[in-house]
């Protein structure tokens, strides 16, 4: 018997990718239910060669659903995830609503799979922010080898990280520039077409943004609370794929060659690092792929035991949907969930 899985936010960027990945990876489902807001009632979404009619979250009964993958934003998750969890359905939540809750595990399966057992307190498991997911996949094996003390990271985040409205805005503005129409900024704070914006999410009291704070808090929760991290998060006019320029200071010596060898063997990582034209990964290369790509690995001579590198991944896949499905797979592999009896 397979599982009954609900995808909330099934009409969104991440939700559609969720449906693709559940199907691609052959997750053992008996039934998949696509849920969204009232606006989408009856809309059709694809699941493999099937078409699913979207149902409304507000009126859906979760009592015979085994797993709910939530991807409809923080406010919806805050309201719904605890109620769904109480109905005995395990929630894998893509929003930031529960990531910092001590009773909710925050999981990247390549990094901290054992922490998943803590999900039973609330029946909720959190998926990290897209920029943090790819960062910790690449840094975990290096931390195990040489103990990371401090990270300085600048991100180059694609517009799909801001949902389908973000993608529409880049498309519309780019077109408007070419045909000399007025350019309107609605989703982003300034024009994103042919520009970059050093501001993602709201400002915090210390001058950092919430997106930057999330990278600090989530890296500490998943990798090591002793790691210091300074982030600058930037939105760039790329449709899919987040990139990161990362400087890492280690406690123990580690050479670029050693790091390359470690990363070549590491789960979820793909090293593309030739010191020649095009010998590195770009966001376009990562779009539609599962791997976290690591390029430009080199020693940083300005600190003791320092390395610099470039990390790229598809934010809708490893940054969201793929990681969520991997969490569901981990629940099954570890025997932490079994299908509920369904009404005949
Ligand atoms: N994009 C990324 O890279 C990324 C990475 C990690 C995490 N996330 C998180 O994933 C979530 C979704 O992101 P996205 O990029 O897929 O956004 P999106 O493209 O804007 O899609 C939002 C989805 O939420 C649904 N929704 C909105 N209000 C709802 C309601 N009241 N009840 C039920 N469903 C509702 C929408 O349904 P309608 O079509 O009916 O409005 C749509 O399916 C967010 O929490 C985001 O922070 C995104």
Q: Could you tell me the distance, in angstroms and rounded to a whole number, from the CA of residue 73 to the centre of ligand 1? A: 5
Can you give the pLDDT at residue 341?
A: 76
Ligand 1 atom with the smallest distance to the CA of 39 is 40
- Per DSSP, the three-state class of 117 is helix
pLDDT in tens, 167-192: 999 999 999 999 999 999 999 999 99
Length of the chain in residues, anyone? 344
Nearest Cα to Cα of residue 55 among 73, 32, 34, 69: 34
pLDDT in tens, 18-76: 999 999 999 999 999 999 999 999 899 999 999 999 999 999 999 999 999 999 999 99
- Whether the predicted pLDDT of 275 surpasses 70: yes
Can you give the pLDDT at residue 42?
A: 87
Nearest Cα to Cα of residue 112 among 83, 139, 85: 139
Annotation marks residue 199 as catalytic = no
Can you give the pLDDT at residue 343?
A: 64
2, two tokens: 């397979």
- Whether the predicted pLDDT of 334 surpasses 70: yes
Indicate if ligand 1 lies below 6 Å from the C-beta of 166: no
Pocket test for ligand 1, best of 71, 95, 129, 158 (most atoms within 8 A of CB): 71
pLDDT class for 333, splitting at 50, 70, 90?
Answer: very high
Return the residue whose CA atom lies nearest to atom 41 of ligand 1: 37
Which residues contribute to the annotated binding site for phosphate?
Answer: 99
- Whether the predicted pLDDT of 122 surpasses 80: yes
Are the folds of 3-127+321-333 and 131-158+196-313 the same?
A: no
- Per DSSP, the three-state class of 145 is helix
pLDDT class for 220, splitting at 50, 70, 90?
Answer: very high
234, two tokens: 């930037």
Indicate if ligand 1 lies below 6 Å from the C-beta of 9: yes
Annotation marks residue 89 as catalytic = no
**Residue keyed to tokens 């670029």:** 256
Indicate if ligand 1 lies below 6 Å from the C-beta of 134: no
Rounded to 10 degrees, the C-alpha dihedral 265/220/106/284 comes to: -50
CA 241/CA 156 separation, integer angstroms: 9
192 burial level (CB within 10 Å; 0-12, 13-18, 19+): buried
pLDDT in tens, 246-269: 999 999 999 999 999 999 999 999
Return the residue whose CA atom lies nearest to atom 11 of ligand 1: 71
185 burial level (CB within 10 Å; 0-12, 13-18, 19+): middle
Q: Could you tell me the distance, in angstroms and rounded to a whole number, from the CA of residue 326 to the centre of ligand 1? A: 19
pLDDT class for 317, splitting at 50, 70, 90?
Answer: very high
Can you give the pLDDT at residue 54?
A: 98
Q: Could you tell me the distance, in angstroms and rounded to a whole number, from the CA of residue 1 to the centre of ligand 1? A: 30
Domain-by-domain residue ranges, the chain? Answer: 3-127+321-333, 131-158+196-313
CATH 3.30.360.10 fits 131-158+196-313, yes or no: yes
State the average pLDDT for the chain: 97
Q: Could you tell me the distance, in angstroms and rounded to a whole number, from the CA of residue 89 to the centre of ligand 1? A: 20
State mean pLDDT over 310-328.
98
The predicted model scores a pTM of 0.96
Pick the CATH number of 3-127+321-333 from 3.40.50.720, 1.20.1260.10, 3.50.4.10, 3.40.50.300: 3.40.50.720
State mean pLDDT over 212-225.
98
The residue annotated as part of the active site, out of 68, 89, 143, 242, is 242
State mean pLDDT over 309-328.
98
């Amino acid at each position: 018997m397979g599982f009954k899985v609900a995808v909330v936010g099934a009409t969104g960027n991440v939700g559609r990718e969720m449906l693709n990945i559940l199907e691609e990876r052959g997750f053992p489902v008996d039934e998949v239910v696509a849920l969204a807001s009232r606006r989408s009632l009856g809309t059709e979404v694809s699941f493999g060669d099937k078409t699913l009619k979207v149902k409304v979250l507000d009126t859906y009964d979760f009592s015979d659903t085994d797993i709910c993958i939530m991807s409809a934003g923080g406010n919806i998750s805050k309201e719904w995830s605890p109620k769904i969890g109480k109905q005995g359905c395990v929630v894998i939540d893509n929003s930031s609503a529960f990531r910092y809750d001590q009773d909710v595990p925050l999981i990247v399966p390549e990094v901290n799979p054992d922490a998943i057992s803590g999900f039973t307190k609330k029946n909720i498991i959190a998926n990290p922010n897209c920029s943090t997911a790819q960062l910790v996949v690449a840094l975990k094996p290096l931390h195990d080898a040489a103990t990371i003390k401090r990270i300085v990271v600048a991100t180059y985040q694609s517009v799909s990280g801001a949902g389908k409205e973000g993608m529409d805005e880049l498309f519309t503005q780019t077109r408007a520039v070419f045909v000399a129409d007025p350019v309107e900024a609605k989703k982003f704070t300034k024009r994103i077409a042919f520009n970059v914006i050093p501001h993602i999410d709201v400002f915090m009291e210390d001058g950092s943004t919430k997106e930057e704070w999330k990278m600090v808090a989530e890296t500490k929760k998943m990798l090591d609370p002793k790691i210091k991290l300074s982030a600058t998060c930037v939105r760039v006019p790329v449709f899919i794929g987040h990139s990161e320029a990362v400087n890492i200071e280690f406690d123990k010596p580690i050479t670029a060659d050693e790091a390359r060898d470690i990363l070549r063997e590491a789960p979820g990582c793909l090293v593309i690092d030739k010191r020649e034209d095009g010998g590195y990964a770009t966001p376009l290369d990562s779009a539609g792929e599962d791997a976290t790509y690591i390029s430009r690995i080199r020693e940083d001579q300005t600190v003791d035991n320092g390395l610099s590198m470039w990390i790229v991944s598809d934010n809708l896949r490893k940054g969201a949907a793929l990681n969520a499905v991997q969490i569901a797979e981990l629940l099954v592999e570890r025997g932490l969930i079994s299908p509920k009896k369904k009404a005949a």
